[in-house]
Amino acid sequence: MFKKIVKKTSVLAFVSACLACSSPAKKEPKTAKLTLEPGFSATVIADSLGAARHIAVSQQGDVYVKLNNLKDGKGIYCLSDTDRDGTIDKTVAFGDYTGTGILVDQKYLYASSNTTVYRYKLDQNQQVTDVDHPEVIVKGLVAHAIDGAKPLVIDKERNLYVAVASYSDACADETKDGKSCPLLDSVAGIWRFDADKLNQEYSDGEQYATGLKGVMGFAWNDVSNSLYALQHGRGNFHEKFPQYFDATYSATYPAETLYELKKGADAGWPYIYYDHIRHKKLLAPEFGGDGKKEGDSKYLEPALAFPAHLGPNAMLFYTGTMFPEKYRNGAFIAFHNQSPELHKGFCVAFVPFKNGKPTGNWEIFADDFAGIDLKNPTGPSQHKPCGLAQGPDGALYVSDDLQGTIYKITYNAKG
């Protein structure tokens, strides 16, 4: 009796072992080494994509990534988890142009180069139907070697907003009279177009807001029914005006500023900059400022100000239900750089909002993308957050344009 049981067990073990050999182990998502609040976790769903700039996630869960450098000749990657096991198992690449902007709605995928906004039609599964023949929505946008990115936003009325950065830091070399900046007619602002009209140029749209040196992160707020935008601040204080400023001043100012924009808004670049410590708009030195003189009060007041040089590269209003209630309708911001003042950066921050307005202090939500101690660095940053997107399940996706890593951050109260 005993021998028969042993023999039967051996056969079962042998069969089980053979089945295990013929069925490859399920690939588990790679855990990301980020610092997060309790209950949150992060995985790496893709890496080595290269300069992964802005990202968008469809309602089917496909992740569209815009690249600033071509990878294998392509500038857009669609990453799919077809069996919903948490790992990417299908990749489609298309588009022979570089750039930053990308967004997806129910019918179309929009993507931008530094001069043009394209549109791809989607099928019922939100897959691109013709990767080789996108429609041109906007063309002829100004682009120079510096700050040429064209991020995109669409509101509920199907208006398309395109941010066009200035290629000049302070318009000092371009101004002829020392009083006005001639660049403001085509850069340093946000232009509004029709999201469903083909072959538009500047003359077909309207300058929605001006006086914004460089906007990479901006988003439509459904609660306030308004556009919010984050400005990259200027530099070159002590280098060009050593009689007024020193290196410490240049490391501390100006603030990176968040604005709520209505049509016709003017944030004041290049004539003013913002002092986040004294909460004042100061006159730029190129136009008579000395670090003390206040700027014209007619310019828009920031809704919030951050320390200098953090490099806000993406903004997203969280509307999901996966994360705790405190995050609902608040703003996530991807900081692409670091603040010398704080020795903080290369992180994703969170700003609480109430009734469509920022309230309370901002906080670091996801940290340690850099992979080094920013106070005592032993080498360069390993990753730089650049793009943000919300998945249909409420997960938060973050792109890194240094190594081309795509992160997925989820929340589980139990775990």
Please report, for the chain, the start and end positions of each structural domain, with discontinuous segments joined by +: 29-411
Higher pLDDT, 376 or 293: 293
Tell me what pLDDT residue 19 has: 34
Query: For residues 236 and 191, which has the higher predicted lDDT (pLDDT)?
Result: 191
The yes-or-no verdict on residue 307 having pLDDT over 90 is: yes
Mean pLDDT value across residues 386-409:
98
pLDDT band at residue 21, thresholds of 50, 70 and 90?
A: very low
- Helix residue ranges per DSSP H, 306-398: none
Residues 92-118 have a mean pLDDT of: 97
**pLDDT for 295 beyond 50:** yes
Position 28 scores a pLDDT of 77
Q: Is the pLDDT of residue 148 over 70?
A: yes
Positive or negative CA dihedral for 241, 245, 250, 252? negative
Q: Give me the residues paired with residue 410 across strands.
A: 41
Q: In this predicted model, what pLDDT tens digit does every residue of 196-234 receive, in sequence order?
A: 999 999 999 999 999 999 999 999 999 999 999 999 999
3-state SS, one letter per residue, for 36-81: CCCCEEEEEEECCCCCEEEEEECCCCCEEEEEEEEECCEEEEEEEC
22 pLDDT above the threshold of 80: no
pLDDT, residue 17, reads 38
DSSP 6: H
Look up the pTM and report it.
Answer: 0.92
Task: Looking at the structure, give the CATH architecture of the domain made up of residues 29-411.
Answer: 6 Propeller (2.120)
165 with 179: CB under 8 angstroms?
no
pLDDT for 12 beyond 90: no
Q: What is the mean pLDDT of the chain?
A: 92
Is the distance from CB of 365 to CB of 348 less than 8 angstroms?
yes
The CA distance from 409 to 323, in Å, is 10
Distance separating alpha carbons of residues 168 and 188, to the nearest angstrom: 9
Based on its alpha-carbon atoms, the radius of gyration of the chain, rounded to whole angstroms, reads 24
Q: Rounded to 5 degrees, what are φ and ψ at 155?
A: -95, -175
> Residue 177's pLDDT is what?
83
Q: State residue 176's pLDDT score.
A: 83
CA pair distance 34, 186, nearest whole angstrom: 40
Residue found by looking up tokens 């100006």 in the block: 254
Average pLDDT over every residue of 278-307: 97
Q: 371-394 as b/e, with b when 16 or more CB fall inside 10 Å?
A: eeebeeeeeebbbbbbbbbbbeee
Query: What is the C-alpha separation between 206 and 83, in angstroms, rounded?
Result: 44
Any idea which residue has 């309790």 for tokens?
Answer: 38
